Amino acid sequence: MKTVSENTCFGGTQGVYSHDSTATGTEMTFGLFLPEETKDGPVPILWYLSGLTCTHENAMTKAGAQAWAAEQGIAICFPDTSPRGEGVANDDAYDLGQGAGFYVNATQDPWTPHFNMWDYVAEELPALLGENFNIDMDRQGITGHSMGGHGALTLAMNLPGRYRSVSAFSPIANPSQSDWGRKQLSAYLGDDETSWAKHDASLLMADKGFDGPVLIDQGADDQFLDLLKPEALAQAMAAKRQDGIFRMQKGYDHSYFFVASFMEDHVNFHAEALWA
């Protein structure tokens, strides 16, 4: 593992690190904020998964999460959204390929060799952080925005007991019924739609639910509402009697201005579960 940069931030450290990934077969970069409390012992961790076209850097620099994480004494990790580099398959469209990993393990060529973001986020990166930083891996929460919200919700519901809490900002909520999903799931996983179900938050919510609290924030003026399909997730949560809150935020769009506006709520929501 290489240290790309480390900066003092709200009394803690905002680091950027790179490492050779077994899951993706590429060099991967991630951001990690560690609060001051890591000097005294292990702290809980919140994972933040970013959306289409993003890298580790977007949320790290735009979401304002570090101030609230420092206040609550929790770490935040910002992984990248896909493998990158020479020899890694890509597409001319922004919503497929590099920058658009969709947090799945690809089973179809040309994506199979590198696009294993599920294993990377669920297994490899947590193991790396647990070995190298003062983090309590028994206390994990997960959140994300857009494609990252999709990833956070699907990981949380597929891995019961792993995360104590899950939240999402404007998640791609029903990808099996959306152009932000059908295109990518068919490319990465093939045309058998039964294999898509574990990557659809609305279907998972109807089937499994989540064994902890859920918080969803959706901008009511989001320009991508028809692609995100939040109503499917809201209906599934209600039908499942899920322990959770679904909020439509009047006037807000899909941007990081929206994310930053409600980041304090999300960090505090996770901190309550992580320190319980």
Catalytic residue among 114, 254, 266, 270: 254
Catalytic residue among 222, 261, 266, 270: 222
Decide the pairing of beta strands 214-219 and 244-249. Answer: parallel
Q: Look up tokens 């899909």; give the residue.
A: 254
Q: Could you confirm whether 145 is annotated as catalytic?
A: no
For residue 99, the number of C-alpha atoms closer than 13 Å in the C-beta half-sphere is: 13
DSSP state, 122? I
Q: Could you confirm whether 146 is annotated as catalytic?
A: yes
Dihedral sign, Cα of residue 254, residue 212, residue 74, residue 45: negative
120, 23 contact by CB (below 8 A): yes
Tokens of 26: 């590429």
Catalytic residue among 82, 146, 170, 261: 146
Cα 234 versus chain centre, distance: 19
Q: Could you confirm whether 270 is annotated as catalytic?
A: no
Dihedral sign, Cα of residue 246, residue 271, residue 30, residue 195: negative
d(CA 79, CA 43) in angstroms, rounded, equals 18
- Hey, which residues are catalytic here? 146, 222, 254
